[in-house]
């Protein structure tokens, strides 16, 4: 038996317990380079220094997944944050639960569209990338280091993400 997980639109306020929404809309910005460039400043709290970590810059190519989709596992990175920034317009889903001991009652799902990114705070439980519609490339800022930085768990029962939540928006 699976549970149904409602998909919500992502907002800075709704996602704040899990990390940062990375978007230019509403971001602090100012001109630099003699006014030829606009700098959108400090868009996410990148946190990778724990236990001697260093930043990694990666590209993840997400294969599209069809809805309905069942969430059967979650992962977390206890030593650093992990940021996903689409390299082109993308539609994807984010499934998260608060950091700490995993509590499936606190699972939330968010729909993300356009060029909006997310930064999972250190230790936040999340599902791996769920791209929709087409192959999508993401710039990923992650933590590198000697210590293992990925914990995975299997859910006792799957959680279903339905296409109806996206169609209704």
- What fold does the segment set 3-167 form as a domain? Jelly Rolls (2.60.120)
**Distance (Å, rounded) from C-alpha 108 to C-alpha 106?**
6
Question: Taking all residues of the chain, what is their mean pLDDT, rounded to a whole number?
Answer: 96
Torsion of CA 130, 131, 135, 137, to 10 degrees: -90
**pLDDT score, position 167:** 59
**What is the rounded CA–CA span in Å between residue 159 and residue 123?**
21
Please tell me the predicted confidence (pLDDT) of residue 22. Answer: 98
- Tell me: the pLDDT tens digits for 50-101? 999 999 999 999 999 999 999 999 999 999 999 999 999 999 999 999 999 9
What tens digit of pLDDT does each residue of 17-61 get? 999 999 999 999 999 999 999 999 999 999 999 999 999 999 999
Round to whole Å and give the CA distance between 82 and 45: 10
pLDDT, one tens digit per residue, over 146-163 is 999 999 999 999 999 998
Question: What does the pLDDT read at residue 102?
Answer: 98
Q: Which of 96, 120, 94, 119 is nearest to 107 (CA)?
A: 96
**pLDDT value of residue 28:** 97
Helix (H, G, I), strand (E, B) or coil at 135: coil
């Amino acid at each position: 038996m699976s549970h149904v997980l409602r998909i919500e639109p992502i907002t800075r306020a709704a996602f704040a317990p899990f990390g940062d929404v990375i978007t230019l809309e509403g971001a602090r910005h100012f001109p630099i380079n003699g006014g030829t460039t606009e700098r959108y400043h400090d868009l996410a709290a990148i946190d990778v220094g724990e236990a001697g970590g260093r930043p990694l810059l990666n590209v993840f190519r997400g294969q599209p997944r069809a809805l309905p989709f069942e969430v059967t596992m979650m992962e977390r990175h206890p030593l650093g944050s992990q940021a996903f920034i689409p390299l082109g317009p993308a539609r994807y889903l984010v499934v998260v639960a608060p950091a700490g001991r995993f509590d499936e009652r606190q699972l939330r799902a968010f729909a993300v569209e356009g060029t909006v990114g997310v930064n999972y705070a250190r230790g936040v439980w999340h599902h791996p990338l769920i791209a929709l519609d087409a192959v999508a490339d993401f710039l990923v800022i992650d933590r590198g280091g000697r210590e293992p930085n990925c914990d995975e768990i299997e859910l006792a029962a799957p959680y279903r993400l339905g296409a109806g939540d996206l169609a209704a928006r």
